[in-house]
């Protein structure tokens, strides 16, 4: 036996950044792979693995067991000439790990500063921000199959990473707990990436012309703090929708009526359109319905003003999807996991 305990009828309110009240029939925090296996032996299924709860919307009580991943540890496991491989426990906080990397002069994750949540959830949607995605530094991960308790290694190709996507959102959805992630970080000659969003401008405001990875991290923290609502103050899960990728012909059709339509060309010939812009054009930005609404500074973010139910947020999300589809003929896809 391990130190695992299984609580009954537990409120999940403290464990999701949307601040939604939902209950789990059984709940436990696991500190090790052994404790996880023990919990899986005792736990009524279905089992939901939760990290920081910053990308989930609960629309109902969880009928089985919620297991919160608290498996810790950061360790350099291999050294190369200009790189190291670092293995991180799935229950480590992502931003705490980024701060650790920056403090140890290890480059590659500084643009991903201040993304909420756990390291174990980072591969699930291939977290990304400011021109960098997890897959850019990813080596592999260890996971435990929830149905059997068996260990499995996933290489980078096996994860099938895409834009806010991986095999853990598709074929292997809800089947594994990611217990550790190994990343490859540079030890010198860092590839500094300041071309995306406001990083260059913010560094200029900070009077920094030759930025270090610590400077880039500080700039990203500054931008994100100004732009995004702090879940500790106002419930949210960051971007609620993915930015749609459409064929160029659709872009050209919409541009006839909306010449100012922002877009980014992708290597495969399609174009990415900012979902926030589409939502704003439909008049949702800053609009409140009941206890939920569209954040006033960023239309892509749905917020809980206090006491909202998951169903309320879901209803708003689907009203937005319908309105964007009616106006632009583009179907938005939620980025948040609706449970
Ligand atoms: C203010 C704010 C800003 C954000 N900005 C960004 C951003 O810039 N870029 C970005 O990509 N995301 C962003 N997000 C979304 C979120 O931070 C990421 O998706 C993060 O990786 C979620 O981590 P988590 O531990 O909170 O996952 P959770 O919400 O706990 O879980 C998310 C999903 O992953 C599964 N899961 C969790 N842990 C594990 C595990 N160990 N093994 C297997 N499955 C698991 C869960 O079952 C669930 O389906 C933002 C969220 C907020 C609130």
Cα separation of 48 and 56, whole Å? Answer: 11
Around ligand 1, the residues with Cβ closer than 6 Å are 17, 48-56, 69, 90, 115-118, 120-122, 124-125, 127-129, 168, 176-178, 228, 231, 236-238, 337
CATH topology of domain 74-227: 3.30.465
Bridge partner list, 128? 133
CA–centroid distance, residue 53 to ligand 1 (Å): 7
User: Which ligand 1 atom is nearest residue 50's CA?
Assistant: 30
User: Which ligand 1 atom is nearest residue 116's CA?
Assistant: 17
User: Which ligand 1 atom is nearest residue 169's CA?
Assistant: 49
CA–centroid distance, residue 129 to ligand 1 (Å): 13
- Decide if 127 contacts 116 (C-beta within 8 A): no
175: which 2 tokens? 């089947």
Q: What is the pLDDT of residue 107?
A: 98
Catalytic residue among 83, 164, 222, 224: 164
Minimal-distance CA residue to ligand 1 atom 36: 121
Question: What CATH number does the domain located at 7-69 have?
Answer: 3.30.43.10
239 is catalytic: yes
Question: What CATH number does the domain located at 235-338 have?
Answer: 3.90.78.10
What pTM did the predictor assign?
A: 0.95
Chunked mean pLDDT (size 10), the chain, 339 residues: 76 97 96 95 95 97 97 97 97 98 98 97 97 97 97 98 96 97 96 90 94 97 93 95 94 91 89 95 96 94 96 97 96 96
What residue ranges do the domains of the chain occupy?
7-69, 74-227, 235-338
DSSP assignment of 183-234: EEEESSS------STTHHHHHHHTT-SS--HHHHHHHHHHHHHHHS--TTTS
Q: What is the pLDDT of residue 3?
A: 53
Q: What is the pLDDT of residue 1?
A: 46
Q: What is the pLDDT of residue 318?
A: 97
Cα separation of 33 and 242, whole Å? Answer: 32
Helix axes 94-103, 213-227, angle to 10 degrees: 150
- Comparing 7-69 with 235-338, is the CATH topology the same? no
């Amino acid at each position: 036996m391990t130190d695992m305990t299984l609580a009954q009828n537990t409120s999940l309110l403290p464990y999701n950044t949307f601040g939604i009240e939902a209950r789990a029939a059984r709940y436990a925090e696991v500190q090790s792979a052994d404790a996880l296996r023990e919990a899986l032996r005792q736990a009524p299924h279905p089992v939901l693995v939760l990290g920081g709860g910053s990308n989930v919307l609960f629309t109902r009580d969880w009928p089985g067991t919620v297991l919160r991943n608290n498996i810790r540890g950061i360790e350099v496991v291999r050294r190369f000439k200009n790189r190291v491989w670092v293995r991180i426990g799935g229950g480590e906080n992502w931003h705490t790990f980024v701060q650790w990397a920056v403090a140890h002069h290890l480059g590659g994750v500084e643009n991903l500063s201040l993304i909420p949540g756990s390291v174990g959830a980072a591969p699930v949607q291939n977290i990304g921000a400011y021109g960098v995605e997890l897959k850019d530094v990813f080596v592999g991960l260890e996971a435990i199959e929830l149905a059997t308790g068996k260990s499995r290694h996933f290489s980078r190709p096996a994860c099938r990473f895409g834009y806010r996507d991986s095999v853990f959102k598709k074929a292997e959805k809800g089947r594994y707990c990611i217990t550790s992630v190994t990343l490859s970080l540079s030890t010198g000659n860092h590839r500094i990436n300041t071309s995306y969003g406001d990083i260059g401008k913010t560094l200029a405001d900070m009077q920094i012309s030759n930025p270090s990875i610590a400077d880039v991290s500080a700039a990203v923290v500054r931008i994100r703090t100004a732009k995004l609502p702090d879940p500790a103050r106002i419930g949210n899960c960051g971007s609620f929708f993915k930015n749609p990728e459409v064929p160029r012909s659709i872009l050209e059709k919409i541009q006839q009526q909306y010449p100012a339509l922002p877009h980014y060309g992708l290597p495969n010939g399609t174009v990415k359109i900012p979902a926030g812009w589409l939502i704003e054009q439909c008049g949702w930005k800053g609009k409140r319905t009941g206890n939920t609404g569209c954040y006033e500074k960023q239309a892509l973010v749905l917020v809980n003003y206090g006491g909202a139910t998951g169903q309320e947020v879901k209803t708003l999300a689907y009203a937005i999807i319908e309105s964007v589809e009616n106006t632009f003929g583009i179907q938005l896809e939620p980025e948040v996991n609706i449970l």
